[in-house]
C-alpha cells in the first residue's frame, strides 16, 4: 500500500486505485517503433512505454509496463486511454493541458482532460508531480524520435 495516498484526500482515490490495480493498455507491444524508459528514482517509479505510429505520425498504439507508486502507474494507465489513436497535435495539446493541471491546477479544457482531472491534487506535492508527469515525459520523448529506444529521468534538470 502506498503511504502517500493518505495525504492526497483531494485526489479521486477510487479512480486512481482502480487504474493502478487494473492498468489499461498494460503489456508489451511486440512491433513497437519507439520504446522510452521513464525513471523516477526519488520514488522508485519506472514506466516502459512502447508506441506505434500511424501514417501521419499519430499514436496508433500505445502500451506500457512498469512498477512504482499508485500515482505513476495510474497516470500511465489514464494517459494511454486518452492518447491512443490521437494525432500528434492532439497529443501535444493534451500534454500541455495535463502539465498545467498538475503544476498550477489551471484547466482551460475540462472536457478534453476528462478522467485526467483526478490527478489535479498532486499539484500540492512536488514529488508527486514527478510521479504523475513521468509517463507524459516518456510519450513526449517518443514523439521526438521515429524509432529506437531512449530514457527519460526525473533527475534531469529540464524535467518538471
Ligand atoms: Zn511515484
Q: What pLDDT is stored for residue 1 in this prediction?
A: 45
pLDDT profile of the chain (160 residues), mean per 10: 52 83 96 97 97 95 97 97 96 94 81 86 90 97 94 84
Cα 131 to ligand 1 centroid, rounded to whole Å: 4
Provide the residue ranges of all domains of the chain, joining segments of one domain with +.
Answer: 3-152
Q: What pLDDT is stored for residue 11 in this prediction?
A: 52
Matching CATH number, 3-152, of 3.75.10.10, 3.90.1010.10, 3.90.79.10, 1.10.760.10 = 3.90.1010.10
Cα 156 to ligand 1 centroid, rounded to whole Å: 16
Cα 35 to ligand 1 centroid, rounded to whole Å: 20
Angle at 80 between CA 147 and CA 120, to 5 degrees: 125
Cα 59 to ligand 1 centroid, rounded to whole Å: 25
Angle at 105 between CA 120 and CA 49, to 5 degrees: 50
Cα 100 to ligand 1 centroid, rounded to whole Å: 19
- Evaluate whether 120 touches 101 at the Cβ level (below 8 Å): yes
Q: What pLDDT is stored for residue 114 in this prediction?
A: 86
- Find, among 37, 93, 44, the residue nearest to 67 by Cα: 44
Cα 122 to ligand 1 centroid, rounded to whole Å: 11
Cα 43 to ligand 1 centroid, rounded to whole Å: 5
- Evaluate whether 40 touches 72 at the Cβ level (below 8 Å): yes
Amino acid at each position: 500500500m502506498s503511504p502517500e495516498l493518505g495525504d492526497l484526500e483531494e485526489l479521486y482515490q477510487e479512480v486512481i486505485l482502480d487504474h493502478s490495480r487494473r492498468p489499461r493498455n498494460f503489456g508489451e507491444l511486440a512491433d513497437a517503433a519507439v520504446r522510452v524508459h521513464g525513471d523516477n528514482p526519488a520514488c522508485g517509479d519506472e514506466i516502459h512505454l512502447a508506441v506505434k505510429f500511424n501514417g501521419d505520425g499519430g499514436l496508433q498504439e500505445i502500451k506500457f509496463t512498469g512498477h512504482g507508486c499508485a500515482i505513476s502507474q495510474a497516470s500511465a494507465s489514464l494517459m494511454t486511454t486518452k492518447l491512443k489513436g490521437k494525432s500528434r497535435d492532439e497529443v501535444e495539446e493534451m500534454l500541455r493541458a495535463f502539465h498545467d493541471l498538475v503544476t498550477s491546477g489551471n484547466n482551460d479544457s475540462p472536457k478534453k482532460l476528462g478522467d485526467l482531472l483526478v490527478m489535479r491534487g498532486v499539484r500540492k506535492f512536488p514529488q508527486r508531480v514527478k510521479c504523475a508527469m513521468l509517463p507524459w515525459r516518456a510519450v513526449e520523448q517518443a514523439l521526438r524520435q521515429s524509432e529506437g529506444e531512449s530514457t527519460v529521468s526525473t533527475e534531469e534538470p529540464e524535467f518538471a
